[in-house]
A and B are shown apart, each in its own frame.
Chain A
Amino acid sequence: MTERELKGLKDLPTPSPRIGAKQAALRAALDAYDRTAEETSGQLPQGFPSRTRRTHTTSNFPRRRMMKFSRSTYATAASIAVLAIAAPAAFVYLDHTDPRQVLADRQPVGSVLDMFSSGGNPDGRQGGEASMTSDMQPALSGANRRTSAVPLSPSTTTKDKIASKTGTGSRTVSRSRDSDLRFAGVSEEKAALPPPPPSQEIIGQGALAKMDDGLRREQPRSGAMALGAYNGDQDNQGSPVSGFTAAPQVANNQINGIISHNIPQDLIAQPPANRDRFDGAAPNPVKQVAIEPVSTFSVDVDTSSYSFIRRSLNAGQIPPKDAVRVEELINYFTYDYPRPETAAEPFKPTVTVLPSPWNQDRQLVHIGLKGYELANRERPRANLVFLIDVSGSMASNDKLPLLKQGLLMLLDKLRPNDTVGIVTYASGSGVALEPTKLSDKARIQSAIEQLGAGGSTAGAQGIQDAYRLVEQAFDKDAVNRVILGTDGDFNVGITDQGQLKNFIEEKRKTGIFLSVLGFGQGNYNDALMQALAQNGNGTAAYIDTLSEVRKVLIEEASSTLFPIAKDVKIQIEFNPAVVSEYRLVGYETRALRREDFNNDKIDAGDVGSGHAVTAIYEITLVGAEMKTVDGLRYQPNTNLGSVGQKKPAEPAPTPAPTRTKTDRPDELAFLKLRYKLPTEDASKLLTMPVLTSQALDGATSAPQDVRFAIAVATFGQLLRGDEWIGRYGRYDYDNIITLANAAKGDDPFGLRAQFVELVRLAKALSAKR
């Protein structure tokens, strides 16, 4: 193909935009501009917007704070300094708010002229007129005249010039200033017009990237560009003009994620495993009780990290560290902690204190939380609609056939009064089964069996159909839920992810929840599935084997489908007279601020019927040797110099008398739990002290479930390469195998045995490296 032919591309007819669309766009833009004015006149936002729970960055979808973000997105866009870690989160927010913005702005408008003359910023306008120079004036008036959509003045025909071959438009002029372009482009020349402070060195793309980072840092970039931007920025980190401060490691993570779906494979070689997206957080640090005695976090009952690392190990690969979320590994397993008596008090916490298996100088505080298990007759009616991906890729044995088997098994767990509906989607969507009572089980069974037989009809309304069916059979006292089963094809009828999330969230507010079941490998999109499920108050589970189907759909059906409490937060205060240091194992992305605990507006994890949640702290007792952090000389009770001498069980002699009152040497910590019942908006509080007398002498005397949870926690930390495990002892995979084997118990479905196999696999794989 010749140059000449390619040049024909330029002359391809292009459609003109509708005038209405243009007006809407300009109005939206000017609104955004006005908003940035408001925001920049106030305090400049710095860093990650506060008051939000830290979650996985890609799954951090706003729920109740959405409106707030629709504003601050623009604020940050206009100003400065957002940590690179906020980038994907902000992307999501932008995504989220955009469609609304579009809708809001699609209102009919007068003319372009009206738009900016009637706008809300008279001061700005006046200033603008005053500042206009003679050569800008005609340009502006030209623009005004063009409200008639006909270019009248040569000064306004940007587009025509650009399209023309001789092109004296902006681009041509730009080219005549090639040196400028080169600096902005690829060479390493310094900026021709360096911004203040003048000493600053801006390298190549950094300059330009910085500029549009202001706008686009919310958005994943194509990888090369992102690298350019980050590289450029690292040179002026922390300076007032740098668009943001890049945290290189985080940036790399993001870039990896972005590369996976944005960059042509011919330029960047990458292992296929990286197609799956994860975002990581650094392990929790060791904290000093004297300085930060309170630890607060949200519960997490997601388990998909475990399924993922299992798949990864089975495929012969040590999973990427960021994919290992220790708390999800621990919570994957069912633990038989003591149960609460009634649904009125939905939790029962059980605390065990035992010596750390991997460090003789440390203790572990194991907190097991068992949710009340609704008896079958107590649980509400279920109104379920399955939205099932029947596209070609679902045909393989580990996908649709597995799902069908699971659904058939699930029917046995449901009651005659429950209803089930099925919607399928592929290239089109169709209702495979109208909501049908379980009393007509045969009909449901046959509908399930026929799935995948190409029964889908035309229409791309998959998700709308599913929600419509749920609404048809809606019962405010029932559990109304859509369950999406897919291998990563989210072509469910709403293509825009932001809109999809909005849609799901809107429906959640009306009482219809969403759960996501992920199947297969390759295109599996952990981030999106988690995000959708979170927006829909549901869980995301990854399913790769029949036993996993059974676990998710059958064993945990009631806990997955029937929430008993929402926004569950845990706060633990350590007693500085007894404990000098602590570290929370896992839950990095679930950390809350201390004050968030009592704030009912702060969102947290939900717990389903019969769910068990486990959290483990590693603590150093006062007087223990080998402290991680040195105490403070000038603060009381930071225990400097107590090395080697066990503190007596009586108040420290030096501090003020008031202290003795609160010392309570018999208490190790105080555990507080906040939760809301599913239908209530005010939280309830549950408290219990952890007594020093509860501490066990040896790990072996701890309950079996506690020991197994600890084995899993150790495995997660070792896989993640946490320094805490290998630092003091030579704790390795063999120790974990021993520990887990001794705590397998009944293990009716072989899950714990499977875990031991995984540890063996990890050991072999890490030895190979």
Chain B
Amino acid sequence: MRPVGAENRLALAAAAGDRAALASLLDAYYEPVHRMAWRWCGSADRAEDIAQDVCVKIAGGIRAFKGEAAFATWVWRITYNAALDHLRRASRLRPTPENEIMALIDTEAPSRETPESNAIDGDLWREVHALPPQQRDAVLLVYAEDMSHAEAATVMGITEKTVSWHLHTARKTLRNRLEAAE
């Protein structure tokens, strides 16, 4: 990975109208974006839709990029919001009750690989997705996407403290569920 300075410079070049710079950035980011999208929606097909949305949004907004923040953080944030939008649309404009999330995913067109393909990890994924949305998001950002609390806070648009609180609550919930299951 190129250092953030170079990356931001590429982004700034793209902002200034350099098509090749943008293509290079998108090319490098497509897979991570797709992976992140998949972690939220659990379907490779849908993740492709989200990733495409994200690419279009990056391309549409890059001209406003001024280098104030890391390009990467900006991308994660766009991805995060695009993923939430998709989840929300899939939930037919209602807050999705936790127990419906799995049903939603089950009705997906056959995806090539689902979290369920690995029993233990599938359980973990399922448990995490049964959490209230913001707890789920905090857990996925910090543990799956390997972000710092501060970065997760930026992406989610909440304070770092709230992220920590969500994580704390999520861990507690998950622990309790696990104990109840045993």
State whether B24 touches A139 (Cβ < 8 A).
yes
A-side contacts of B127, CB under 8 Å:
1
Give A22-61 as 1s and 0s: 1 = Cβ < 8 Å from B's Cβ atoms: 1011101111111011001000000000000000000000
The verdict on A13 contacting chain B, using a C-beta distance below 8 Å, is yes
Given contacts A101-B56, A128-B18, A129-B20, contact A78 B61 (CB under 8 A): yes
State whether A116 touches B89 (Cβ < 8 A).
no
**In the complex, which of the residues B125, B139, B160 contacts A185, with contact meaning CB atoms closer than 8 Å?**
B160
Q: How far is the CA of A265 from the CA of B133 in the complex (A)?
A: 9
B-side contacts of A521, CB under 8 Å:
none
A-side contacts of B107, CB under 8 Å:
460
**In the complex, which of the residues A5, A40, A167, A261 contacts B63, with contact meaning CB atoms closer than 8 Å?**
A40
Whose C-beta in chain A lies nearest to the C-beta of B71?
Answer: A170
Main secondary structure of the interface of A (DSSP, over half): helix
State whether B148 touches A193 (Cβ < 8 A).
no
The verdict on A734 contacting chain B, using a C-beta distance below 8 Å, is no
Given contacts A173-B1, A175-B151, contact A124 B77 (CB under 8 A): no
State whether A262 touches B58 (Cβ < 8 A).
no
B-side contacts of A112, CB under 8 Å:
23, 27
The verdict on A174 contacting chain B, using a C-beta distance below 8 Å, is yes
Give B31-59 as 1s and 0s: 1 = Cβ < 8 Å from A's Cβ atoms: 11011001100001001110111011111
B-side contacts of A159, CB under 8 Å:
28, 31-32, 35
State whether A125 touches B1 (Cβ < 8 A).
no
**In the complex, which of the residues B39, B128, B150, B154 contacts A205, with contact meaning CB atoms closer than 8 Å?**
B154
Q: How far is the CA of A444 from the CA of B9 in the complex (A)?
A: 69
Task: Identify which of residues 156-176 in chain B touch chain A, using a CB-to-CB cut-off of 8 Å.
Answer: 156-160, 171, 174-175
Given contacts A6-B139, A156-B28, A159-B32, contact A133 B9 (CB under 8 A): yes
Q: How far is the CA of A74 from the CA of B20 in the complex (A)?
A: 19
Main secondary structure of the interface of B (DSSP, over half): helix
**In the complex, which of the residues A127, A129, A214, A489 contacts B61, with contact meaning CB atoms closer than 8 Å?**
A214
Task: Identify which of residues 68-85 in chain B touch chain A, using a CB-to-CB cut-off of 8 Å.
Answer: 68-74, 76-78, 81, 84-85
Give A164-184 as 1s and 0s: 1 = Cβ < 8 Å from B's Cβ atoms: 010111110111011011111
State whether A28 touches B52 (Cβ < 8 A).
yes
The verdict on A194 contacting chain B, using a C-beta distance below 8 Å, is yes
**In the complex, which of the residues A21, A24, A495 contacts B89, with contact meaning CB atoms closer than 8 Å?**
A495
The tally of CB-CB contacts under 8 A between chains A and B is: 390
**In the complex, which of the residues B94, B125, B150, B157 contacts A261, with contact meaning CB atoms closer than 8 Å?**
B94
Q: How far is the CA of A73 from the CA of B57 in the complex (A)?
A: 11
The verdict on A161 contacting chain B, using a C-beta distance below 8 Å, is yes
State whether B158 touches A18 (Cβ < 8 A).
no
**In the complex, which of the residues B5, B23, B47 contacts A26, with contact meaning CB atoms closer than 8 Å?**
B23
State whether B112 touches A15 (Cβ < 8 A).
yes
* A97 → B minimal CB distance (Å): 10
Whose C-beta in chain A lies nearest to the C-beta of B125?
Answer: A12
State whether B10 touches A26 (Cβ < 8 A).
no
The verdict on A745 contacting chain B, using a C-beta distance below 8 Å, is no
Given contacts A9-B144, A224-B157, contact A1 B19 (CB under 8 A): no
Whose C-beta in chain B lies nearest to the C-beta of A226?
Answer: B157
Q: How far is the CA of A165 from the CA of B31 in the complex (A)?
A: 17
Given contacts A170-B1, A212-B74, A267-B134, contact A490 B146 (CB under 8 A): no
State whether A265 touches B95 (Cβ < 8 A).
yes
The verdict on A241 contacting chain B, using a C-beta distance below 8 Å, is yes
* B166 → A minimal CB distance (Å): 9
Q: How far is the CA of A225 from the CA of B134 in the complex (A)?
A: 12
**In the complex, which of the residues A1, A18, A195 contacts B66, with contact meaning CB atoms closer than 8 Å?**
A195
* A144 → B minimal CB distance (Å): 8
State whether A208 touches B74 (Cβ < 8 A).
yes
State whether A219 touches B81 (Cβ < 8 A).
yes
* A532 → B minimal CB distance (Å): 12
* A687 → B minimal CB distance (Å): 44
Given contacts A29-B55, A102-B49, A214-B61, contact A186 B160 (CB under 8 A): yes
Q: How far is the CA of A143 from the CA of B25 in the complex (A)?
A: 8
Given contacts A159-B32, A224-B156, contact A216 B81 (CB under 8 A): yes
**In the complex, which of the residues A1, A124, A169, A180 contacts B69, with contact meaning CB atoms closer than 8 Å?**
A180
* B6 → A minimal CB distance (Å): 5
Q: How far is the CA of A167 from the CA of B84 in the complex (A)?
A: 25
State whether B59 touches A32 (Cβ < 8 A).
yes
Q: How far is the CA of A109 from the CA of B108 in the complex (A)?
A: 27
Give A136-168 as 1s and 0s: 1 = Cβ < 8 Å from B's Cβ atoms: 101110111010000000111111011101011
State whether B61 touches A29 (Cβ < 8 A).
no
Whose C-beta in chain B lies nearest to the C-beta of A163?
Answer: B35
B-side contacts of A284, CB under 8 Å:
none
Given contacts A215-B78, A528-B93, contact A209 B67 (CB under 8 A): no
The verdict on B13 contacting chain A, using a C-beta distance below 8 Å, is yes
Apart from A136-B13, A208-B154, list 20 A-B contacts with CB within 8 A. Answer: A1-B178, A9-B125, A12-B115, A12-B118, A12-B124, A33-B59, A78-B63, A112-B27, A155-B1, A159-B32, A163-B32, A169-B72, A178-B150, A185-B160, A212-B57, A219-B81, A222-B157, A261-B95, A265-B95, A497-B89
Q: List 30 A-B contacts (CB under 8 A).
A: A9-B124, A12-B125, A17-B30, A17-B44, A21-B48, A22-B30, A25-B26, A25-B30, A28-B56, A115-B23, A116-B22, A125-B18, A128-B19, A131-B16, A133-B6, A139-B2, A139-B7, A140-B20, A156-B28, A159-B28, A170-B70, A171-B151, A178-B148, A184-B70, A185-B151, A195-B68, A225-B158, A261-B95, A262-B84, A490-B92
The 3 closest A-B pairs by CB, nearest first: A225-B157, A128-B18, A215-B61
